[in-house]
């Protein structure tokens, strides 16, 4: 987000949501400095902007990991064991205390209301891979496989840098 980008939108308050969406698309989240900048540009209070950011689930206030793990916690998935999937994934990634992103910023776990694929419940998506009727063990295996692939990629990069 830059002043140049913002200046094209003037002081039109209706630009608030499109601007926030633009920041989110560019950075993956809406950082504090962007909120301040937008607040000054549109003459909207930061508390009003926070209200918008917290109202719409699409906005994130913290940076996300390189890999997204989306787990449905809708009714169909919930009754078919989604809480166990969530527990397994969070444990596998070492997430606790409400943190949704790993310390190395490789993974973010997002709990989604419904993917619209309830007949496949419970459903988990890791990046581009969707898995329905997933069990906690399968969820753990998906995570381990991704972690292994990331480690292999890093090792390859280190070798090529030597």
Among 38, 42, 121, 146, binds ligand FES (CB under 6 A): 121
**Shortest distance, position 79 Cβ to ligand FES, whole Å:** 9
Cis peptide before 122 (omega within 30 of 0): yes
Residue 72 DSSP code: E
Task: Please compute Rg for the chain using Cα positions.
Answer: 19
Interface positions, 4-43, toward ligand FES (CB under 6 A): none
Query: 142, 127 in Cβ contact below 8 A?
Result: no
**Shortest distance, position 73 Cβ to ligand FES, whole Å:** 7
Residue carrying structure tokens 């009714």: 75
Q: Per rule CB under 6 A, is residue 74 in the interface with ligand FES?
A: yes
Residue number with CB closer to ligand FES (35 or 82): 82
Q: Per rule CB under 6 A, is residue 118 in the interface with ligand FES?
A: yes
Residue 101 DSSP code: B
Considering only the stretches 19-27, 45-53, 116-124, 136-144, report the one whose residues sit in contact with ligand FES under the rule CB under 6 A: 116-124
Bridge partners (DSSP) listed for residue 70: 110, 125
Q: Per rule CB under 6 A, is residue 75 in the interface with ligand FES?
A: yes
């Amino acid at each position: 987000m830059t002043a140049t980008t913002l200046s094209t939108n003037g002081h039109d308050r209706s630009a608030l949501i499109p601007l926030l969406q633009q920041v989110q698309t560019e950075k993956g989240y809406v950082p504090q400095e962007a909120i301040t900048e937008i607040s000054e540009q549109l003459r909207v209070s930061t508390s009003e902007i926070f209200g918008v950011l917290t109202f719409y689930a699409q906005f994130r206030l913290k940076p996300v990991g390189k890999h997204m793990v989306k787990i449905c916690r809708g009714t169909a998935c919930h009754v078919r064991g989604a809480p166990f999937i969530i527990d397994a994934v969070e444990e596998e990634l070492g997430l606790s205390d409400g943190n949704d992103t790993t310390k190395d910023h490789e993974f973010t776990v997002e709990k989604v209301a419904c993917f619209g694929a309830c007949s496949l419940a419970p459903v988990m998506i890791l990046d581009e891979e969707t898995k329905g009727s997933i069990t906690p063990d399968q969820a753990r295996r998906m995570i381990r496989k991704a972690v292994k692939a990331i480690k292999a990629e890093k090792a390859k990069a280190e070798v090529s840098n030597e």
